[in-house]
Structure 1
Amino acid sequence: MATILNIETSTKNCSVSIAKDGVQLCLVEENEESFAHGEKLNQFIEWCLDGAEIKLKDLDAICVSKGPGSYTGLRIGVSSAKGFAYGLDLPLLAINSLQILAESQINQGYDLIIPMIDARRMEVYTAQYDNFGKQLTDTEAKVIDETSFEELQGKKIVFVGDGAEKCEETLRHLDATFIQIFPSAKYMCQLAEDKFNQNLVEDVAYFEPYYLKDFVAGKKKSE
């Protein structure tokens, strides 16, 4: 039984929700190509607190999406979450970004839920979940080609996430639905409540985002 601030910044969607006992009270989010999370996140948190009609002192925990996803987005979201957790002396909770996507499709009658977060070109961050949101395979960075997931032919599958649409043509051999959405803090509410009730907390001092891959900065083009 808790009031939890949820922060999701693993993609270009900057998303904040507040939930009480697993029920969403308010959601503020926006996605845009500029990845302006650093400019908007604190403002979104203020708006969400106002919308939920609560104060920071009313919070029982902070929950953040830990990755995988955008290096910059994760760094901003985790830094903010750690700051609030430390400053307010609250427990810090963390959820895999792919699990947040999978949560959007649970109990919909699929054999498998396969979230996909866009990496680069035909690469995605992905894992497999069952219809109830239980993770079945390890999180991985996977290059998608015509042979990907061929062992799953015959199963009813949903691919969900901002990496799903680009894979649709390549994976047309499967009985699959493709849903192009972003991870959102609205799907974190019950997951965060469950972690709080199980006391699955992170060490605020040492917690780091789950980048999965090392960050590689692009070279500046010659003028």
Structure 2
Amino acid sequence: MALILNIDCSTETASVSIAEKGVVLLRLINNDQKDHASWIHRSIRDLLANASLELNELHAIAVTAGPGSYTGIRVGMASAKGLAYALSVPLITENTLRVMAWSKRSELFGQGDAGGITKSGDFCYAPMIDARRDEVFTGIYGPDLSELIAPKAIKLDQHAFEEELVKNRIIFFGSGSDKWKTIKNHQNAHFQNWDYAYFNLAYLAYQSYLDKAFADLAYVTPYYLKEVYTYKKN
């Protein structure tokens, strides 16, 4: 048995869930991005109570490390690290963009490692998270979710993804895809809505748990991709 607490505060929707062997048993969701910080600890406490579990029954803590909302990533990572340290259990970090790519492929073609490839028509996946102004956090993942373009922050213009679109049919989705849709018109660019799916983090975290792909608590940091700017109030 592997009970994992999954924490995701990296996008507009935050979630906490408890999963056994990658299958979500209970979950709580918060759609108010400004409230993630005050919501997270209360929700973890309520989740454990509803599941009749104690913290020391958890086998690992998983968290989306970014990219995404700076504040949300920081809140989620701090909570996950604190729990993992206090409980002496492994910490698992997952890239938000990869979780989104997995979510989209699962939505369209199912979760099976082989099934998604044969049914997908060789579509690639480009999750996009709004990074303000004309920028997005994005990457490109192949039909098997292999990383074709590493996650990065880019400024959108007519030339973005030019070479990739010549070679691949790409599904663009996420909070940053709408502004890209207004810029780019290409026969290989396909745009779709994206609905938050909390269970995909649980599935990927369990695979990492089986592979013993654990983060080093002493050195793990949020995956911001951009410098965090702070401004002094006048």
User: TM-score scaled by structure 1?
Assistant: 0.90
Q: Does 1:30 align with 2:30?
A: yes
Runs of 4+ in 1 over 6 A off after TM superposition: none
How big is the shift at 1:218?
Answer: 3.9
Match of 1:3 in 2: 3
Q: Does 1:163 align with 2:176?
A: yes
Q: Does 1:118 align with 2:130?
A: yes
Q: RMSD over aligned Cα, in angstroms?
A: 2.0
One-letter identity of the residue aligned with 2:94: I
| 3-state SS of paired residue (1:139) | strand
Q: Distance in 1 between matches of 2:151 and 2:5?
A: 25
Q: Distance in 1 between matches of 2:26 and 2:184?
A: 36
Q: Distance in 1 between matches of 2:187 and 2:66?
A: 27
Contact 1:112/1:128 (CA < 8 Å) preserved in 2?
yes
One-letter identity of the residue aligned with 2:98: Q
Instruction: Specify every segment of 5 or more residues in structure 2 that has no aligned partner in the other structure, as ranges.
Output: 106-115
How big is the shift at 1:155?
Answer: 3.3
Contact 1:22/1:190 (CA < 8 Å) preserved in 2?
yes
Match of 1:175 in 2: 188
How big is the shift at 1:182?
Answer: 6.5
Q: Distance in 1 between matches of 2:103 and 2:12?
A: 18
Match of 1:198 in 2: 211
- CA deviation profile, 1:169-220 (whole Å, cap 9, x unmatched): 2122243332344765421111101111111111112221111111112454
- Cα 1:182–1:83 change in 2 (3 A) is farther
How big is the shift at 1:36?
Answer: 1.4
One-letter identity of the residue aligned with 1:155: N
- Cα 1:174–1:27 change in 2 (3 A) is farther
Contact 2:127/2:140 (CA < 8 Å) preserved in 1?
yes
> Residue 230 of structure 2: which of 210, 217, 220 is its match?
217
How is 1:35-50 mapped onto 2 (pairs within 5 angstroms)?
A: 35-50=34-49
Q: Does 1:75 align with 2:88?
A: no
Instruction: Specify every segment of 5 or more residues in structure 1 that has no aligned partner in the other structure, as ranges.
Output: none
Q: Paired residues, what number?
A: 220
Q: Distance in 1 between matches of 2:124 and 2:222?
A: 26
One-letter identity of the residue aligned with 1:71: Y
Identical counterparts, % of pairs: 39
One-letter identity of the residue aligned with 1:122: D
Contact 2:97/2:138 (CA < 8 Å) preserved in 1?
yes
